[in-house]
A and B are shown apart, each in its own frame.
Chain A
């Protein structure tokens, strides 16, 4: 099998990214242009900024990815692009660009589901390390600002199938990090700042409890018995943090902190620590501890229920250091091998899109010329 070079393009949210990956196993180049600086004053992703920034960034980002890979448009074998889920306007920038490129170059176009990309980010890096032995069934937790999903993945020949066995019923885990950081005056994005502050607080200081999610009996209509689901809920903990702030009269301290941090262009951990009182640090540590505990507990229960042979934890929240430590510790107790992407491949990137496209390239699973953005694309 000759080497296959795939150019991947990703623009589903606030990162414009392009990458060249060889045969699904070697990152040749990986360029990510982040709009986080643009979004920071808004405390979240603003769609109009997102699509405008993607438009501005896409051409230089693709050119840089090719230049770093020492490839030209002519010497890549296929173009892969994220089809969804994501913000429609943002997705369209990547899709329109990829379609035009594939058409002009007469190269195959491959559409990739963003969540599938996150799963293949892990596989790509394992292969890069020489680990080709990833036993199935494979359970993947995809956890980010917009997603908290559990998938059971299987491979038959070159084609991958995914079964969703759990998802959030309300807020994504990363959204809870962002909202809690915002309401505590810690800025955006919430994940890294909470990760850095948490070791300075007591994770047992505030008790958070998660409601037991009732999995309603879906078998009533005489259908075949469904396999168990492991759903998440992170709306309650966000509300609980808000209540804690109210009942402990933290608002004035929070407003002061927000004002100080707004004056600093790029606040460092030390800057944030200087304006964080012990009560805030304890709250942050307890919040993080509770969310990670819940993610780990349900994911490992799902792994037992489905007899998973391998666990992947991927997506932006997988960059959290305490999450990695906790999953490693608990998976080891169960004798379950657990793999994470490196930090650059945890957050949105295009190498994962190019990697997920490789099996589709081999099975000639190419996109139709009518390919369009699918904001709510499901992974199957």
Chain B
């Protein structure tokens, strides 16, 4: 798959793409998800977590309030992190994200682009753009 651009036409297709990405993402992996509100970031995470057999798509919910959601799979653990409300490096430090780096862990970070360190440290970037009511352009780079 490597770097690529995909157009999905429904949340179901976005989840399917997540299943495919799970086959390509080899831990340890730091992935930054970039896109405005409502462009499908959490929906793609549903597919990725399900692809790793770490969670059912119905159980993957927004981590905006709880900040970090952890899904443990048979061989890979998925951490879904949302920095929407984190603004300073000090606040970020207290989340202890460094402790989550591990050989069998995949970190998926929403709003990670707010912090320079994730721009440096990320392995993969996935950009989301809204094309229409249900159409989304999803660009994967660095894989």
- A interface, CB within 8 angstroms of B: 42-49, 51, 85-87, 89, 145-146, 167-172, 174-175, 179, 183, 216, 231, 235-236, 238-239, 242-243, 375-376
Contact = CB atoms under 8 A, between A and B. Distances in A.
> Nearest 9 CB-CB pairs, A to B?
A239-B38, A44-B85, A48-B94, A146-B65, A171-B62, A48-B91, A170-B62, A46-B91, A145-B65
A238 B65 contact: no
Contact of A172 (B38, B65, B69, B87): B65
B62 A175 contact: yes
Given A146-B65, A376-B69, A47 B37 contact: no
B140 to A, nearest CB: 22
Interface string B90-115: 11011100000000000000000000
Contact of A235 (B62, B66, B68): B62
Contacts of B69: 376
A235 B90 contact: no
A179 B66 contact: no
A171 B63 CA distance: 8
B141 to A, nearest CB: 24
A236 B40 CA distance: 10
Interface string B46-78: 000000000000100110111111100000000
Contacts of B90: 48
A154 to B, nearest CB: 23
A332 B82 CA distance: 40
B94 A171 contact: no
B58 A231 contact: yes
B64 A175 contact: yes
A231 to B, nearest CB: 7
A47 B58 contact: no
A174 B61 CA distance: 14
B16 interface: no
B62 A172 contact: yes
Given A47-B94, A47-B95, A238-B38, A170 B61 contact: yes
Given A85-B66, A146-B66, A169 B58 contact: yes
Contact size range, B: 20 to 34
A236 to B, nearest CB: 8
A205 B14 CA distance: 32
Given A51-B94, A183-B37, A44 B64 contact: yes
A172 B93 CA distance: 26
B61 A242 contact: no
A220 to B, nearest CB: 13
A313 B66 CA distance: 22
Contact of B42 (A42, A170, A174): A170
Nearest to B95: A47
Given A47-B67, A242-B36, A376-B69, 6 more contacts: A46-B91, A47-B91, A87-B66, A168-B61, A169-B58, A169-B61
B84 interface: yes
B99 to A, nearest CB: 11
B57 to A, nearest CB: 8
Contacts of B25: none
Contacts of A86: 66
B66 A42 contact: no
B143 interface: no
Contact of A179 (B37, B42, B91, B94): B37
Contact of B86 (A46, A170, A239): A46
Contacts of B94: 47-48, 51, 89
Contacts of A145: 65
B39 to A, nearest CB: 8
Contacts of B86: 46
B38 A242 contact: yes
A376 B70 contact: yes
Nearest to A174: B65
